[in-house]
């Protein structure tokens, strides 16, 4: 078998919406390199472990899913990053994973991290390695996935209101949506939401109904965000490359 050998790591872009703002889960590195710097959570792939297993394991460790806290969400592979000089220790390929989780208590650091925290997406400091780019790619993926899938519901707990769901879209897209048109759109899209009989009392206005996520995964027609630019909006990464002329 030709070729040199790589260490293979998984890094997680874990997104959630807290206080109507999109946040990412960051860890403070507890060991070199980049000791003390902020980074994406992650870890090396163990022998006999598949990529998604590593990602799920580290996600559980960081979000405290192993403490019995019920986690509903979504996990998907994002992209791989393997620039020769991206890690000073040697040749390391990192597979990025993108996770959506509902708002939950403060994270519990794991995997050799000194600390961990939810950080608003527009206040993220410079990160270790090439994690800035991985994070950017993850956020961009999240923004476009909300357009044509029902994944916004992965940011919500098991039962949620239409307004809860709208706040997800507004936070991820940094925009505002008409509450009335949004309501009609999501409740009339077959399989997106399943109504319960429960109304949430205690709020300031008419009590909203609770819904659960339905079986639909694709959104047709999609939920288009406003004024998508028509010219080049390729992500920052290599993921889109024209070949010559």
Partner DNA sequence: TAAATAGTGTCTTTTAGACACTATCCA
Partner DNA sequence: TGGATAGTGTCTAAAAGACACTATTTA
Of the candidate spans 19-27, 74-82, 126-134, 170-178, the one that interacts with its own copies by CB under 8 A turns out to be 74-82
Of the candidate spans 78-86, 91-99, 149-157, 218-226, the one that interacts with DNA by CB under 7 A turns out to be 218-226
21-29/38-39 β-pairing: antiparallel
42-44/92-100 β-pairing: unpaired
**Of how many residues is the chain composed?**
245
Of the candidate spans 18-26, 49-57, 126-134, 196-204, the one that interacts with its own copies by CB under 8 A turns out to be 49-57
Q: Tell the smallest beta-carbon distance from residue 128 to its own copies (Å).
A: 15
CA 117 remoteness from chain centre: 15
Residue 125, binding choice from its own copies, DNA, none, Cβ under 5 to 8 Å by partner class: none
Q: How many CA atoms lie within 13 A of 113 on its CB side?
A: 24
Q: Is 70 or 123 the residue whose CB approaches its own copies more closely?
A: 70
| Given 20, 48, 68, 122, the residue binding its own copies (CB under 8 A) | 48
Residue 19: both structure tokens together: 């206080």
State yes or no: residue 206 binds its own copies (CB under 8 A). no
CA 37 remoteness from chain centre: 21
CA distance 233 to 139: 14
| Given 28, 34, 37, 44, the residue binding its own copies (CB under 8 A) | 44
CA distance 59 to 12: 7
C-alpha separations of 207 from 155, 178, 203, 244 in Å: 22, 19, 7, 58
State yes or no: residue 191 binds DNA (CB under 7 A). no
Residue 162, binding choice from DNA, its own copies, none, Cβ under 5 to 8 Å by partner class: DNA
Residue 68, binding choice from DNA, its own copies, none, Cβ under 5 to 8 Å by partner class: none
Q: Which residues bind DNA (CB under 7 A)?
A: 161-163, 178-181, 183-185, 187, 199, 201-209, 221-224, 226
């Amino acid at each position: 078998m030709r070729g040199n050998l790589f260490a293979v790591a998984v890094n997680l872009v874990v997104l959630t919406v807290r206080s109507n703002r999109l946040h990412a889960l960051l860890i403070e590195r507890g060991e070199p390199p980049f000791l003390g710097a902020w980074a994406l959570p992650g870890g090396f792939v163990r022998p006999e472990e598949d990529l998604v297993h590593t990602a799920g394991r580290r996600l559980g460790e960081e979000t405290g899913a192993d403490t019995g806290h019920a986690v509903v969400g979504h996990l998907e592979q994002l992209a791989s990053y393997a620039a020769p000089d991206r890690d000073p220790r040697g040749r390391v390929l990192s597979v990025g994973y993108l996770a959506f989780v509902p708002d939950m208590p403060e994270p519990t650091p794991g995997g050799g991290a000194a600390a961990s925290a939810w950080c608003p997406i527009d206040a993220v400091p410079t990160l270790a390695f090439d994690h800035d780019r991985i994070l950017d790619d993850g956020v961009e993926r999240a923004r476009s996935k909300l357009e044509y899938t029902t994944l916004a519901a992965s940011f919500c707990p098991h039962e949620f209101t239409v307004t809860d769901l709208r706040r997800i879209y507004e936070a991820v897209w940094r925009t505002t949506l008409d509450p009335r048109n949004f309501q009609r759109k999501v409740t009339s899209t077959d399989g997106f939401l399943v109504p319960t009989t429960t109304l949430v009392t205690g709020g300031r206005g008419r009590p909203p109904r609770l819904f659960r996520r339905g079986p639909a995964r694709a959104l047709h027609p999609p939920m288009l965000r406003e004024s998508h630019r028509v010219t080049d909006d390729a992500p920052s990464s290599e993921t889109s490359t024209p070949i010559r002329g």
